[in-house]
Amino acid sequence: MAELELKNLYDDFRDGDTLRAYAKIIAKDAAKLDRTINIMEVCGGHTHSIMKFGLPQMMPKNINFIHGPGCPVCIMPKERIDHAYVLSLQPDVILVTLGDMIKVPGSSGSLQDTRAKGADVRFVYSPLECIKIADKNPSKTVIFFAIGFETTTPMTAVLVDQIIKLDIENVLFHINHVTVPEVMRELIDSRDEHVDSYNNKIDAFIGPSHVSVITGAKIYDEFPRDYDRPVVVSGFEPVDVMQGISMIVKQFVENRCELEIQYKRVVTNEGNKSAQKLIDTYFDKVDLFRWRGLGSVPESGLKLKNEFIKYDAESVYKSVLPITEIEDHRLCICGDILRGTAKPPECTIFGTACKPSTPIGSCMVSSEGACAAYYKYGNLI
């Protein structure tokens, strides 16, 4: 019965008639505009929903999607992947991580390759599983390679909190958490400074709702206020996305520029204050964090606070970790795709040398990557 109710709930937010009704509303409003509106969906989850349900095909010609960098696996530079690679091969180490990290290629290979060499690399759904792994392997050092945006940061913070409170001594952390507003700011600034170099200016953003559940929608206040870019925080189902697009277009028609929440059934302006407090307890901003394809973005990453440095794998294993910045394969245009200045089919190796079974770029590896979405759901340009 519960499964049937869940299916019916999904059906409501994927209903074809509702999508077509929103498409008509968007087309009617867009016809009142004498310009193209370029909308960036920051999160890869939105990209997959947009592609899976054919939303670009439902848009009028003057509404254009720009795919953003919001995939935590995709934006990880090769040198950070190399850290995971090297750490996994250290004596008596168990490397634990989330998601699609196993297949992301660094300069020497992927974690899939180190597993083939005998490394103990494990993938978990919850960081808290590290506690059980550490308990069962007291003679090993468990390193949690933490990735993700504000959505997954609280889970890492909870693990840090438990490790300290339980006085567990054989768990370390390699922190790769990044934050959304700083990279949005970077994308606007870099485009506005060199606007002639880009075909598409970002006119508005679809904000990721799962980030906003933690941080609150307030983190996007600066974009309509300081950058004249409206932001609509939207859910990930296609009806959510279509309503979010409609809200953005309506703002342009009415000459407004505001932060709005489409996903009101979950997102508030203030967010989860308990999660925010826990993050602030254990993490500080880094001065610079290098994003794959985007370069170093100020204060866009997190690190353990200095008082918890003994739990920091980067500090403990500093002598063996590579420090050189490494660029992508010369034929890979993941950087342009993550910046939103190119789309996957424009890459000469898309779908040929680079595909999910043999990924060359990070955008093809991750289930949230734009290249993976285009490969799976169709080469829309």
Spatial separation of the C-alpha atoms in residues 245 and 263, rounded to whole Å: 12
Q: Which two tokens stand for residue 252?
A: 């342009």
pLDDT averaged over consecutive 10-residue blocks of the chain (381 residues)? 57 92 98 96 93 96 92 89 97 92 88 96 96 98 96 97 98 97 92 54 94 97 98 97 98 98 96 97 96 90 98 98 84 88 92 89 85 81 43
Domain spans in the chain, listed from the N-terminal domain onward: 78-177+272-316, 334-377
Return the pLDDT at 340. Answer: 85
Q: What distance in Å separates the CA atoms of residue 313 and residue 144, rounded to the nearest whole number?
A: 9
Q: What are the residues facing 288 on neighbouring strands?
A: 298
Its pTM stands at 0.91
pLDDT for res 193: 58
Closest CA to 246 of 55, 8, 45: 55
Q: What is the pLDDT of residue 200?
A: 60
pLDDT at residue 9, rounded to an integer = 66
Residue 64's DSSP bridge partners are 38
Q: In angstroms, rounded to a whole number, what is the distance separating the alpha carbons of residues 199 and 43?
A: 21
The continuous run of DSSP H or E covering 323 comes out as: none
Determine the pLDDT at residue 328: 80
CATH topology of domain 78-177+272-316: Rossmann fold (3.40.50)
Q: Which amino acid is at 29?
A: D
Structure tokens at 138: 């007291």
User: What pLDDT, on the 0 to 100 scale, is given for residue 3?
Assistant: 57
DSSP at 53: T
pLDDT in tens, 188-235: 988 765 554 445 689 999 999 999 999 999 999 999 999 999 999 999
CB-based burial of residue 18 (10 Å sphere; 0-12 exposed, 13-18 middle, 19+ buried)?
Answer: middle
CA 204, 205, 211 angle in degrees (round to 5)? Answer: 160
- Contact predicate 377/351, CB 8 Å: no
Question: Beta-strand (E) ranges in 161-253?
Answer: 171-177, 204-208, 231-234
- Are residues 371 and 116 in contact, defined by beta-carbon separation less than 8 angstroms? no
Query: Residue 381 is encoded by which pair of tokens?
Result: 């340009």
Give the Cβ contact number of residue 308 at 10 Å: 18
Give yes or no for a contact between 141 and 94, defined as CB atoms under 8 angstroms apart: yes
pLDDT of residue 261: 98
Tokens encoding 196 = 């002639």
> How remote is the C-alpha of 16 from its chain's centroid?
28
pLDDT at 199: 53
* Maximum pairwise Cα distance, the chain: 68
Contact call for residues 228 and 258 (beta carbons, < 8 A): no
- Residue for token pair 């060499």: 117
How many Cα atoms sit within 13 Å of 153 on the Cβ side? 33
Q: First CA to last CA across the chain, in angstroms?
A: 41
> Which residues on adjacent β-strands are paired with residue 208?
234
H-helix segments, 89-221: 111-116, 129-136, 153-165, 180-193, 209-215
